[in-house]
Amino acid sequence: MFKVSVYVTPKQAILDPQGATIERALPALGFEGVENIRVGRFITLEVDGSEEDVVRRDVEDMCRRLLANPIIEDYRFELVDVGPFPGAGLGGEVLLSEDTPMHVAGEHAASPWTAVDPYAHREEKIGE
């Protein structure tokens, strides 16, 4: 299982008004000399798999098609193989207690790619 971190940032050529606004706010806090602030997105995923090449290719595909818009955003990602034992964190902790809010990756874990439609109950109402 791989823990993946995806960083999505606006392309340098794109105007980033959020970044510009933050830049203008910093001097009011006493910070001078701060430039080129860009605001992006940080996404974490856990991906089933044992082969890094395959996972890397899949994550690349996810980034290109959904997680980033390549027309206006750059992306990069890092992945860490946390081994075949679900729930094993980098520090070797094993999550076993039912009280912990974190999932143990396994048959009961909700895959982030399972489509859940919060509006499913509307299906009968649409189409009047």
Partner 1 sequence: MSGRVRFGVVVFPGSNCEYDAVHALGTFPAAHPYYLWHKDHDLQDPDVVVLPGGFSYGDYLRTGAIARFSPMMGEVAAFAAGGGLVLGICNGFQILTEAHLLHGAMLRNRGLKFICHAQHLRVERTDTPFTRRFEQGQVIQVPVNHNEGSWTAGAESLQRIEDERLVVFRYCDAEGNVTDAANPNGAVDNVAGLVHEGGNVLGMMPHPERVCEAILGGTDGRALFGSLIDTVLERG
Q: Does the footprint of partner 1 cover residue 96 (CB under 8 A)?
A: no
Residue 95 makes CB contacts below 8 A (sequence gap 6+) with: 87, 89, 102, 103, 104
Q: What are the structure tokens assigned to 49, written together?
A: 């798999």
Q: What are the structure tokens assigned to 40, written together?
A: 């992006």
The residue among 42 and 92 lying less far from partner 1, judged by its C-beta, is 42
Distance, first Cα to last Cα, the chain: 46
Q: Does the footprint of partner 1 cover residue 84 (CB under 8 A)?
A: no
Q: Which of 44, 69, 100, 111 binds partner 1 (CB under 8 A)?
A: 69
- Distance, CA of 52 to CA of 62 (rounded, Å): 15
Stretch that binds partner 1, among 77-85, 88-96, 104-112, 117-125 (CB under 8 A): 117-125
The distance of closest approach from Cβ of residue 107 to partner 1 in the complex, given in angstroms and rounded to an integer, is 26
93 secondary structure, DSSP code: -
The distance of closest approach from Cβ of residue 42 to partner 1 in the complex, given in angstroms and rounded to an integer, is 12
Residues of the shown chain interacting with partner 1 in the complex, contacts defined by CB under 8 A: 10, 14-15, 17-18, 21, 41, 66-67, 69, 71-72, 117-119, 122-123, 126-128
